[in-house]
Structure formats: structure tokens, C-alpha cells
Amino acid sequence: MNRFLLGAPALFAVLSCASASPSSPPAPVAEAPAVKAPVERQMAAVARPSRKQVVRGILPSTVRMLVTENGKTRRTASGVVIGTERTEKGVMSYVITNAHAVGMDDLKSPRMVITQERQGELSEYPVEVAVVGQVPEMDLALLRVPGVELTPAQLAEDAELELGEDVVVAACPFGKSTSLSGGMLSQVEWDSQAKVPKMVKTDAPIGYGASGGGIFSLETGKLLAIVEGYRTAKVGFAVANEDYSFDVPMPGETFAAPSSKVRKFLQAQGFARLLERASEGGVGQTAQR
């Protein structure tokens, strides 16, 4: 097998103390718990956003990455907007993706862009590589998008990565428009010393080009992990005495870098400021970098 990189409201009972004749029986009082429980459940159901509402919040931070040369597409991947800030050079947005997806040493005149497509309208922005991690230990890269303010995702805390968490993967496989797939966190591997998740897997199906895509919680919409790759099984068959084979992604074997790894990468590379909550207007404080 190969691993491919790619408040519920309070209820108040008001009791009347008016006088009554001794022979009058006391008025029955309904028990509060019998009414409170179903009301709380109804309010909780109303308070939790629907799948469609969560997806609407995820899409603006999902991008497609393209590397072209002489007008031809050489490489495609996915990415997630992780932060935006104002600098002396103007507004800057930042996209997190995979390190293995941004390598261009084999190309003579590469051009890298990210795109977003919404209801047939395509927006394209030139990008530059800010920092790159060391593969395979840190298969993450940060892209800088000058002159545009994009919507960043909210990074989940370590404790939010729970086995069985319902998730949606937002990516752009095969260089096409944003594609969604659903599943759960099928594995959360913890670092016994640092006490943080060091690797997660999901059973949500993905395709080639989904590397760098985001795995989001369907409950909160927060970014739980960045897709790194998937394990495959080779399938072979014979046709007219000719042997053929191809690789098939294995369900439940999609590997991803958890939010703790993303946080560690940004801190180590001097971009810890992107982890702080954005100020008013969604843009971070002025930076000198």
C-alpha cells in the first residue's frame, strides 16, 4: 500500500397566595421538570446551525491552488485561508497548504495562483510562497496573497479533535471547483509527551488534488486539520492478455495535519500573530514582517 501526498430560557412558576375557604382543595401545580426538558431540547436544536449554514461559513476560506508554466497547468492542490493582516505594503492574506504541493524546482518559469469560484464567478489571485516546512515531518506551507482581504477559517483547539467527530472536507480535487465530502474523524493519534494531537485520519472520501484542503467540524465550522495525503491499494486486472493496474484510495485512510500541528508550524515560522483573533473588520493588526 502506498501513501499519496497530495441558554435554554429559565422557566418561572408564579404561585398565587389568595385566600380560599378551608373546604376548597388546593389547585394542582404542574411540575417544572416535565415541561423544562422538552423546551430545552427544542431550544438546543434551534441554536445549533444546520449543515447548510456551517458549509456557508466554510466556503469563503477554501481555495484552489494552481501552478502553471507557459499557460499549462503543472500542479493543482487545495488550501485554506488562515489569516489576514495589514502591513506597510498593504493588506495581506495567508493560505495554509501542503509543502509537497508548492515545490517548483522542476519548472523553469512557474506561476502560482489561488482561485475561488462562487456561482460561476471565478476570482484569481497571484501568490508567493512565504515559508515551507520540511517533508515529511512538517508537510505544511504558507502562501502570501498580497492586496486582497480573504475570509480566514477559525482554527480549532486541541481538545475539539475527538474521535467520531462529524466532519466535512472542503477541497478542490483534480483542479476543479470546490468539492465537499462528509465523514468523521476515524483516528486521532495523540503525542503522549506534548499531550496534543499529532495526526488524524478521516473516512471522508477525497481525490487527487485535495492535498491542503481543510477538514472542518460540522458542529462548529472550525478548522480541525489540513489534508496531507491518503493511503491507496493497488487494483490489477487483465484485458485481452494485457495487465492493467491503478491505485484506489482506501476508506478511512486519509491522513491530515491536526490544528495543533498547524499552530506549531505558524509559531515556529514567526507567524504566531495569525493565530490571534482578528481585530474589527476581520483584519489583523499592522505587521512589520
In the chain, residues under CATH classification 2.40.10.10 are 57-153+266-277, 154-260
Instruction: Give the burial class of 261: count Cβ atoms within 10 A of its Cβ; 0-12 exposed, 13-18 middle, 19 or more buried.
Output: buried
pLDDT value of position 30: 54
Q: How far is Cα 214 from Cα 210, in angstroms, rounded to an integer?
A: 9
Q: How far is Cα 252 from Cα 246, in angstroms, rounded to an integer?
A: 19
Backbone angles phi, psi at 106, to 5 degrees: -85, 0
Residue 56: CB atoms within 10 A of its CB come to 12
CA neighbor of 216 nearest in space, from 229, 200, 230, 232: 200
Q: What is the pLDDT of residues 185-204, one digit of tens each?
A: 999 999 999 999 999 999 99
Q: Check if the beta carbon of residue 57 is closer than 8 Å to that of residue 153.
A: no
Task: Please state, in angstroms and as integers, the Cα–Cα distance from residue 269 to each residue in 32, 93, 126, 258, 274, following that order.
Answer: 56, 16, 22, 17, 11
pTM of the model: 0.77
User: What letter represents residue 215's amino acid?
Assistant: I
Q: What is the pLDDT of residues 23-64, one digit of tens each?
A: 555 555 555 555 555 555 555 555 778 989 999 999 999 999
pLDDT value of position 21: 43
Q: pLDDT in tens for each of the 289 residues of the chain?
A: 455 555 444 333 333 333 344 455 555 555 555 555 555 555 555 577 898 999 999 999 999 999 999 999 999 999 999 999 988 889 999 999 999 999 898 999 999 999 998 888 899 999 999 999 999 899 999 999 999 999 999 999 999 999 999 999 999 998 899 999 999 999 999 999 999 999 999 999 888 889 999 999 999 999 999 999 876 667 777 887 888 776 666 666 789 999 999 999 999 999 999 987 533 334 444 444 4
> Domain 154-260: which topology?
Thrombin, subunit H (2.40.10)
Q: For domain 57-153+266-277, say whether CATH 3.90.1720.10 is its number.
A: no
The torsion defined by the Cα of 263, 267, 272 and 276, in degrees rounded to 10, comes to 30
DSSP the chain: -EEEE-------PPPP-----TTSPPPP---HHHHHHHHHHHHHHHHSPPHHHHHHHHGGGEEEEEEEETTEEEEEEEEEEEEEEEETTEEEEEEEE-GGGS--TT-SSEEEEEEEEETTEEEEEE-EEEEEPPTTTT--EEEEEET--PPPPPBPPGGG--TT-EEEEEE-GGG-S-EEEEEEEEEEEEPTTT-SEEEEEE-S---TT-TT-EEEETTT--EEEEEEEEEEEEEEEEETTEEEEEEEEEEEEEEEEEHHHHHHHHHHTT-GGGGSPP-TTS-EEEE--
Q: What is the distance in angstroms between the CA of the first residue and the CA of the last residue of the chain?
A: 43
Spatial CB neighbours of 211, under 8 Å, sequence gap ≥ 6: 5, 6, 77, 78, 97, 98, 100, 101, 171, 227, 228, 229
pLDDT value of position 31: 56
